[in-house]
Structure 1
Amino acid sequence: METTIFPTPARIGFLSANRPMSRCFQPKYGRFAVVSVMTPSTSTNSTLKTEATNSYNIATTTTNTIYNDNWFDRIAIDYLSKAIQDTTGMRNEKNGYESFVVATRDVFRSFDPTEQRKLVMKALQNAIPTPISFLVKTMMPPSKFSREYFATFTTIFFPWLVGSCEVRESEFEGSIERNVVHIKKCRVLESTNCAGICTNLCKIPSQEFIKSSFGIPCNMVPNFDDMSCEMIFGQNPPTLQDDPAFKQPCYKLCNVKHKHDTSCLPKPLEDIKSNRD
């Protein structure tokens, strides 16, 4: 096995009284990508590949991103982790991002899909008080400005949660807007290797929270092949029955697979159907 470390430059924040607020603060964010390529000793090919079977993905190589969380990142991580633990009443003794990951795994293992989404929604509402979200919703009704603002805000203040991300353009009602957040490799998905945690504890609650709290639709489109994701502000997500994310089997290396089989996702769909019946 060969291991290569590729350093990437840190993004250094700045303050400027003459710039818009969305650009006034950028947390320091540096990382090292550690790429371990498992190949026969006689091979010189280091191309990253991912093979898939009918039931789950088998990673022939592993890529682990090491994050150097700064003071802002650590405060935000601890705050969200504590909000989840306070909501569920399930404590853990871990620190930093590991504490957040353990908190999400505890929710996934202990509650059914409907309860999972409700608990995460409640945790998000506790983390961002209603008066704040109501003020933002009132001052920023749906518009090109608000959609682009939310996209920019996400890339500045939430890399600690989802990893490196950037704003991209898309067509919205016949015009081009910068309303898409492209997450290069989701930190949550990489940390858990679980499609069920991605959909039930991140995608669905986040979409519902953004819509109900800020009045703007958001469709999160995960790519389980490369662990990237797109948040499309202004776009309504499909129904759960039609959402491709709920047809994706889980990873062979899923860190919570003892709770479920090779697929995390049939149960949520069955749960939805039973509720409607």
Structure 2
Amino acid sequence: PIINRIVAEIENSLQEPGRSKFKGKVFAGVFPTGRFNAHAKKVPDESGYVFLLNVGLMQLIYDTAKILFSQARWAKFDSEGKPVSGSETGTPEINYDEAGGLLKDIIHRYLKFKKWTVPEYKLVIQDGPRNMILAKAVMAVEKFVLAHEFGHAILGHLDRNVHHLLEVPEIGRTVSVVNKDQKDEFAADLVGGILILQGLPKRIDDPQKALSVQVAVAGSFLFFELAHLVEKAAKKVKYTTHPPAQQRAQMLEQLFKKHLPEQAFSLSKSLVGLLGS
């Protein structure tokens, strides 16, 4: 249901000429692809699309966000979007070293098994505001992943007839995937970023709208920082189609800074900085 809601939000933000590409239905769901990304495919002889999000990626996003928000503290912000010194309240639900250990564990498990496995711990977020923003942040990350796949469809990448077969050991089958290169991935990031921007409030005139913009921006960059950490943990990463995550993040940052004020990046800087540390 949440993924369907995200798809509906993206579809509602579509403008021409992108809207004309989606005359049929879009189905999006989780799938055990065994990889760190999502896969998209055009339905044969139809105008619809299927977007498959890696079930391991979705769980990795959720638990990473949960670890990050277990560290959250709250502060008042001034008119420039900067925290007011001395206004912080709340305490982390687990200490910094524990958070780092849990993060390393979930990334290791993802890389080792190439699918999601049940971790050896259970982290429960007790604080109400933390849970609220946690849910919004997870949706924001998932929305960028889906917006990227919409980008492939809008750009015509899924109309090609050149495919390769992807082994999916978890289900004992292979799936056919459209061939894409690094230029395609950069372009899909750019279109995905535009779709995120088109879905934001036109005017940021109250704290609720400001928060929604900050969360949307943070979701995109959290995805890339998590991808970067996985790249580092994997040590030897072959960039066959997807460019390095940091390069992708830099390009998206250039796009967002052309359209958004500096305070829109405050949550992103805090979360990405914490994740990167």
Same topology, TM > 0.5: no
Higher share of residues assigned strand: 1
More contact order relative to length (CA 8 Å, sep ≥ 6): 2
**What TM-score, normalized by structure 1, do the two folds share?**
0.30
